[in-house]
Amino acid sequence: MRNAGVGGWPARRAQMTPGRTAFVFGERSFTYAEVHERTTRLASRLREAGVRAGDRVAYLGPNHPAFAESMFATHVLGGIFVPLNFRLAAPEIEYMLAQSGASVLIYAPQCAGVVGALPGTPPVTLGSAEYERWISEGDPTPIDVPVALDDVALILYTSGTTGRPKGAMLTHGNLVWNSFNILIGVDVAGDEVTLVSAPLFHVAALNQTLLPTFLKGGRSVIMPSWDVDECYDLIERHRVTWMFGVTTMFAAFARSPRWAGADLSSLRNLMSGGAAIPAALIRTYQERGLVFCQGYGLTETAPGATFLEAGESVRKVGSAGVPVFFANVRVVRPDLTDVAAGEPGEVLVKGPNVTPGYWRDPAASAAAFAEGGWFRSGDVATVDEEGHLHIVDRVKDMYISGGENVYPAEVEAVLFEHPAVAEVAVIGVPDATWGEVGRAFVVPRQGGEVTAAELGDFLRGRLAKYKIPRYFEVVDDLPRTSSGKIRKSELRR
């Protein structure tokens, strides 16, 4: 086989474990042999539509096996897959389709309204009915197009919280090396049953769960979207062994009335990333007897940069771990010298998992790298004496109060320990005396009440005075990005 990329995985898996289940979605399941055949048929139809190596195929829709089939079929032909956030509005989708130059758009029925509102669409635009017809009429004859590990596999658009989103390119090599890092750090098994509950159009769900599980011949149970009760049901029904989530997902899961009595004995590993997760929430899971491992990474690092393995998850609770096996990580001062232990600095990453740059944006690509080819994360971290990273915050979220740096994530982690607090976000706001002071937006636990005075008293003695927010606002909910991260730019507005 000349395809050294991800497009060759369905054929290789079908040869090794044809009868093993690859995907479960609702009441339907797909074996590896079926995935290979459906992927090949779809690839043949894409080829008939003119897709060749380097051409872009976009997908718009919630989690579904069709997402994976469209991706693999694109990669069979050496094309570039462009997963789009189905929660975006038509003008945002229009920009990404135009910027990527997609020649094909495959979309789910839920997205028909958005697609219909687009002023223009790619030459080939397929809804769910046409998609299934295409597969049934496709040629199952194997296709073997040469694909190298350095070829671009994905264009993943950043959330675009400031300015236009950028299309981060990930090569087949980036995906392969990231999978290797996961297999080493998590010790993924061939009998893994992975719950894919975060959006697949984001790098974590796709590259940290679905692809490594596929590589090992495990089973991916795909949720169309996050739902706490459905998550409990699927874990018990399918005996799920592994799942990934962000802070908001794990916080909601632990707040459920089903938490205390649910059978979670099948879970071998829970994994989180995307933002610093409060140590208090991690301990909630550990006290339930569950292994909870935190990692750190970005879309541009495919995404794993550091990981805290299971054996260290209790002793180093709250740490994002050490650099993954096949990558190097530094924490540096503004002059790019390495920080001392405990000193905050920017995280730099270098390795075969790191993006070559941004699609059709040479200026952004050049600005993203420091001297020596180190990718600049824009995240602040400290390193302890044993080399473990502790993520502090985003550089842009830090504010300066009375000449002192304040990292909101640190304040949020302490506030999260208050028994009445379900979620919290802290931002810096202008102040005539101190330059900036903190403003905390707090979501109380269901049935709970909390006041600003009570929260202020709770923080006194736990944080330095300058870190304690001047203002507290109790709210029903917090604005979020599609990946579940809190949209602080909206809070600032």
Q: The whole model's pTM is what?
A: 0.87
Range 171-356+363-393 has CATH code 3.40.50.2300: no
Confidence of residue 485 (pLDDT cuts 50, 70, 90): confident
Specify whether domain 1-13+28-148 bears CATH 3.40.640.10: no
Q: Nearest-CA neighbor of 201 among 302, 326, 315, 61?
A: 61
- Element counts in the chain: helices (H) and strands (E): 16, 26
Residue 416 to residue 447: CA distance in whole angstroms:
16
Report whether pLDDT(482) > 80.
no
φ/ψ of 144, rounded to 5, equals -130, 90
- ∠ at Cα 133 (127, 138), nearest 5°? 120
Average predicted confidence (pLDDT) for the chain:
93
Mean pLDDT of 446-471: 90
Token pair recorded at residue 303 = 């995404």
Tens-place pLDDT, residues 329-354 = 999 999 999 999 999 999 999 999 99
The domain limits of the chain are 1-13+28-148, 171-356+363-393, 398-492
- In terms of average pLDDT, the best of 80-94, 206-220, 473-487 is 206-220
Are both 171-356+363-393 and 398-492 of the same fold?
no
Q: Using CA atoms, how far apart are residues 351 and 328, in angstroms rounded to an integer? A: 6
CA distances from 126 to 108, 123, 223 (A): 9, 10, 22
Q: Please write the tens of the pLDDT for every residue from 296-316.
A: 999 999 999 999 999 999 999
Per-residue pLDDT averaged across 135-147, rounded? 97
Strand 369-370 relative to strand 357-358, pairing: unpaired
What would the mean pLDDT of 399-423 be, rounded to a whole number? Answer: 87
* Strand residue runs (E) in 353-476: 357-358, 369-370, 374-383, 389-394, 399-401, 404-406, 421-431, 435-444, 471-474
Q: How far apart are CA 158 and CA 128, in angstroms?
A: 26
Which of 129-143, 242-256, 257-271, 318-332 is the least confident region? 242-256
| 30 bridge partner residues | 23
Report the top-level CATH class of 398-492.
alpha beta
Task: Please give the average per-residue pLDDT across 466-473, as a whole number.
Answer: 94
Q: State the pLDDT at residue 159.
A: 61
For residue 247, what pLDDT band results from cuts at 50, 70 and 90?
confident
pLDDT tens, 250-271?
988 998 999 999 999 999 999 9
As a whole number of angstroms, the distance between CA 492 and CA 16 comes to 53
Neighbours of 48 (CB within 10 A): 13
Cβ(202)–Cβ(174) under 8 Å? no
If you average pLDDT over residues 100-106, what whole number do you get?
97
Inter-helix orientation angle 32-48/128-137, to 10°? 100
pLDDT on residue 160: 47
